[in-house]
Amino acid sequence: MRDTRLLGAHGPGLTEHHKHFGPLPEVGPDLIAAIEAAGLSGRGGAGFPTARKMATITGRKPVIVGNGAEGEPLSRKDALLLTKAPHLVIDGLEAAAAAIDADKVYLYVHAAAVAAVTKALAERPNRVTVIEAPDTFVAGEESAVVRRVEGGPALPRDRIVVAAVSGVRGNPTLVNNVETLAHIALIARYGPEWFRSVGDRDEPGTMLVTLSGALDNQGVLEVPTGTPLINLIDPRGVSAVLVGGYHGSWLPADSFAGARLSRAGLKELGASPGAGIIHALGRTECGLARTAEIVGYLADESARQCGPCRNGLPRLAQLVDELAYGRANDAVVKEIRRITRLVDGRGSCRHPDGSARFVRSALRAFATDIELHHHDRCTAADAVVRD
């Protein structure tokens, strides 16, 4: 096994890429079976089995889109990958396109990565169209990607027909995260057994993780799936950790001693790795205040196309703000729980669902702070006094 799978090349150019990884072998529909045997799951957040997603693409003139929008403020992995290893992503995009016999191929990326991707594409024959993603939270949602590729706004559509059935201009469309595509390129080269040789048994391979917050080792790391959280963060130095980003879950530092970075390894804690985001909250930071800041952002970033986004999320932001800075009483908590139930599962996209999940996790993780706020106290303020 190579020490670093995704970021092993000594430069972003095609020469360095081929020197480290070698050329991409010729592939076809049989690649889907190899990906299934490898057990690759999507690295964009949902973790859906990649082979199953590819196998659903049937019909005439399918389209494939590599999704590198990365609208999540705490994530840096896709931008790094597209800058440091663009050819690995392009290889995976071409391999997946060959596997589903795609008629059109698109690469949808954040502005920060457009130059690197364009330069890499100029080094090789290709049929890839690059589309710049707007810097918004919902721009990377699958139906928003489809709308943007079609020339419309990067806003989600109602969840009626999935993109695999009717996506870009009504054609069956496969949308894969760029990290997922890079793994596909490696599976095409080295095979399923090689891919499974590291990581969690049920969710094998490596994953890119973005570390941020109250940490000395901030940045993007490549780690095997199933890595213990305590290998990445010392729980003694933080009060809580946000896993999975703004649609993820807060975990108190004393709760994840045995937790591992996989869906199964975090399930009992009510969390998921999502797109590999781990954000540490310092002991002198108020978890409720940080939550209020994030919920306000999520309300502002909504598409405002349905009731939960237009009305529910702004109301939720108002209530969480009151919990953090106003009168933290039981009535406020009760109303927060009621609003999260109202918005969950009723939106045009999954933005309200993720926001509700995030808020519920905060109520669990910062239950002590909620009680202390009743008495104009806070664990963060107490930590400042102790320090």
Dump pLDDT digits (tens) for 97-125.
999 999 999 999 999 999 999 999 999 99
Model confidence at 383, pLDDT cuts 50, 70, 90, reads low
CATH hierarchy code of domain 203-282: 3.10.20.600
Element (H, E) at 114: helix 111-122
Residue range 128-143: mean pLDDT, rounded: 96
Summarize pLDDT for 56-108 with one digit per residue, the tens: 998 899 999 999 999 999 999 999 999 999 999 999 999 999 999 999 999 99
**Looking at residue 32, what is its pLDDT?**
98
Instruction: Tell me if 321 sits within 8 A of 305, measured CB to CB.
Output: no
Per CATH, is 287-375 categorized as 1.10.443.10?
Answer: no
Label residue 217 by pLDDT band (50, 70, 90).
confident
**pLDDT for position 381:** 63
**Span(s) in the chain for CATH 3.40.50.11540:** 14-197
Q: What is the DSSP string of 66-101?
A: EEE----TT--HHHHHHHH-HHHHHHHHHHHHHHHT
Which residues of the chain are in CATH 1.20.1440.230 domains?
287-375
Whole-angstrom distance, CA of residue 327 vs CA of residue 183? 49
Question: CA 68, 72, 78, 80: dihedral to nearest 10 degrees?
Answer: 130
Tens digit of pLDDT for each residue in 1-60? 445 699 988 999 999 999 999 999 999 999 999 999 999 999 998 889 999 999 999 889
Q: For 218-240, how does the pLDDT look when each residue is reduced to its tens digit (9 = 90+)? A: 999 999 999 999 999 988 889 99
Question: Is 321 within 8 Å of 292 (Cβ atoms)?
Answer: yes
Name 331's Cβ contacts closer than 8 Å, sequence gap at least 6.
none
Residue ranges matching CATH 3.10.20.600 in the chain: 203-282
Q: Which amino acid is at 190?
A: Y
The yes-or-no verdict on residue 169 having pLDDT over 60 is yes
Which option is the CATH number for 14-197: 3.40.50.11540, 3.40.1080.10, 1.20.210.10, 3.40.50.920?
A: 3.40.50.11540
In this prediction, residue 2 carries a pLDDT of 44
Question: With bands split at pLDDT 50, 70 and 90, how would you rate the model's confidence at 386?
Answer: low
